[in-house]
Amino acid sequence: MISRLVVVPHPPLLVPELVSGAVTDTEPVRSACLAAARDLASHSPDWVAVAVDPSGPRLVEGVTGTFRGFGVDVRVSLTDHASPAAPASPAADDLPLPVLIAAWLREQAGARSVRVHLVPPDLPTSACAALGGRLAGSPALLVLGDGSHRHGDQAVGRPDDRAEPFDSDVHKALATADTAALSALDPALAAELGAQGRAAWQVAAAVPGAWRCTRSTFLAPFGVGYHVAVWDA
């Protein structure tokens, strides 16, 4: 049964080699994510992860990939069993960003393995709940997903006044381990605001457990909402 659950975003800026000119500016997000990942690794060396990508639903495990598509050939693996000298898998350049970030966090935190369940961004809330119930057999769950990308003048998408209250509600739900509030998020509104983490958060909300939040942070330094939280059962 899952007894620790960690929520993090998955922007490329977490990887220092990809933002050599902005390492200092991106450090707060990186530090928050690494602290949460280390909390997860201290609880269990083997993780299950859930993240959002249009290629879902599918399970990705045991592969080596690279951030070459994001500008630098930083290689990462989902498992310690891969040889550091082994070439990246044939589709390494095509691995979705959340899979690469899950692998990078695993390595940075010293965990042994992570298996990533990818779900499509439009996965209905009922299907998210069903998957959450099926993930209950692992002790540690990594949940990857970004908030709205429409915050203020630096917004990646068009600025939208609804972004702040939306991510405020998500932050409050994560900080209080309010699974009902996460389950009640409107998929249509999340899609309009570019909040791709919605489906992953709703999967997490359906994982059985009496949860309490032990760590919660929200940052939006570049117009994108980044949520970090640690829940213990």
Q: In angstroms, rounded to a whole number, what is the distance separating the alpha carbons of residues 192 and 155?
A: 13
What is the crossing angle of helices 23-43 and 97-109, to 10°?
70
| Cβ–Cβ < 8 Å for 225, 148 | yes
Give the β-pairing of 113-119 and 46-52: parallel
pLDDT, position 90: 45
Q: In angstroms, rounded to a whole number, what is the distance separating the alpha carbons of residues 75 and 86?
A: 10
**97-121 residue pLDDT tens:** 999 999 999 999 999 999 999 999 9
Question: What's the rounded mean pLDDT across residues 28-41?
Answer: 98
CATH placement of domain 4-232: 3.40.830.10
**127-178 residue pLDDT tens:** 999 999 999 888 999 999 999 999 998 888 789 999 999 999 999 999 999 9
Helix, strand, or coil here: 45? coil
* Backbone dihedral angles phi then psi of residue 210, each to the nearest 5 degrees: -100, 100
